[in-house]
């Protein structure tokens, strides 16, 4: 890995993509920032990333064969990887994974994960995946409109380098075989949504049902009382 650490940055994900565009070297990179001024999440939403109280990082994972290209499953894998790393750092805290890309503590979001494809502009094909991870460690001063949803992990000080190390090492261990989805069992064990009644916005439509689990593709499984529903892409809007 080429490791780049910044005090302040617009967004570690956009910087990762920019570097890849400029250099076209398909290098593994790890970009870490103490603060982001334009952190973003899914559907272009702002990701609140204040100074020092969080950890904002992006991993650039180049791939040389199209078969490793499954951003949905990689996001799910990353959620498990990050949750396990956090569980080690904070044994006293209960972490839950919420489909597809969030980690919760006490019913509030404390981690967001965003995977993005990097296109090689000349070859016009994807050349890498950027895995962005934003963690609210001690972030308390959350803007009013986010207060119901966004939380923080703990006041306990931790060694951030150790956390990054755990995440990157867990990631490296899981990545070679992530397409076989062996981590799904762990995901299921930590699932925030299992058994809950949810509403999912899939862009085409809104579906409702009780969550029964996720499958080996990382798709969310629901039952609406009459039939099973498989949701491959979408956003849980109500729990």
Binding site for biotin, by residue number, is 11-13, 36, 109
Q: Tell the smallest beta-carbon distance from residue 41 to ligand BTN (Å).
A: 3
Q: Which CB atom, from 201 or from 212, has the smaller least distance to ligand BTN?
A: 201
Query: What is the C-alpha to C-alpha distance for residues 40 and 56, in angstroms, rounded to an integer?
Result: 11
Q: Quick one: which of 59, 55, 52, 45 has its CA closest to 4? A: 59
Contact letters (x/-) for ligand BTN, 62-101, by CB under 6 A?
---------------------------------------x
Q: Residue 214 — φ and ψ, nearest 5°?
A: -130, 155
Q: What is the largest CA-CA distance in the chain?
A: 53
- Is residue 131 a contact partner of residue 58, using CB atoms and an 8 Å limit? yes
Gap between the Cα atoms of 161 and 179, Å rounded: 28
Instruction: List the beta bridge partners of residue 207.
Output: 200
Least separation in angstroms between residue 235's CB and ligand BTN is 9
DSSP state of 117: E
One residue of 32, 34, 58, 222 binding ligand BTN per CB under 6 A: 58
112 binds ligand BTN (CB under 6 A): yes
**Cα separation, 49 vs 194, whole angstroms:** 29
Residue 151 binds ligand BTN, judged by CB under 6 A: no
Using CB under 6 A as the binding rule, whether residue 48 contacts ligand BTN is answered as: no
Among 89, 132, 136, 163, binds ligand BTN (CB under 6 A): 132
Instruction: Please give the residue ranges that form the binding site for ligand BTN (CB under 6 A).
Output: 11-13, 36, 39-42, 47, 49, 56-58, 101, 112-114, 132-134
């Amino acid at each position: 890995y080429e490791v780049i650490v910044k005090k302040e940055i617009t967004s570690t994900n956009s910087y990762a993509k920019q570097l890849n565009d400029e250099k076209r070297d398909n290098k593994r990179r790890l970009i870490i920032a103490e603060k982001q001024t334009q952190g973003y999440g899914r559907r272009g939403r702002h990701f609140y990333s204040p100074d020092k109280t969080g950890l904002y990082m992006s991993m650039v994972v180049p791939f040389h064969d199209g078969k490793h290209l499954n951003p949905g499953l990689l996001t799910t894998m990353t959620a498990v990887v990050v949750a396990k790393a956090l569980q080690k750092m904070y044994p006293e805290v209960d972490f839950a994974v919420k489909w597809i890309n969030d980690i919760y503590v006490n019913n509030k979001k404390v981690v967001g994960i965003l995977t993005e494809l990097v296109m090689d502009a000349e070859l016009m094909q994807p050349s890498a995946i950027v895995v962005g991870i934003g963690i609210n460690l001690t972030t308390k001063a959350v803007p009013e409109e986010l207060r119901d949803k966004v939380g923080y992990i703990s006041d306990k000080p931790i060694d951030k380098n150790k956390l990054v190390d755990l995440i990157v090492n867990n990631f490296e261990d899981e990545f070679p075989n992530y397409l076989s989805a062996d981590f799904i069992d762990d995901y299921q064990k930590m699932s925030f949504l299992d058994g809950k009644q949810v509403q999912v916005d899939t862009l085409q439509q809104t579906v409702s049902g009780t969550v029964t689990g996720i499958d080996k593709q990382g798709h969310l499984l629901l039952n609406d009382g009459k039939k099973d529903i498989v949701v491959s892409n979408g956003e849980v809007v109500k729990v």
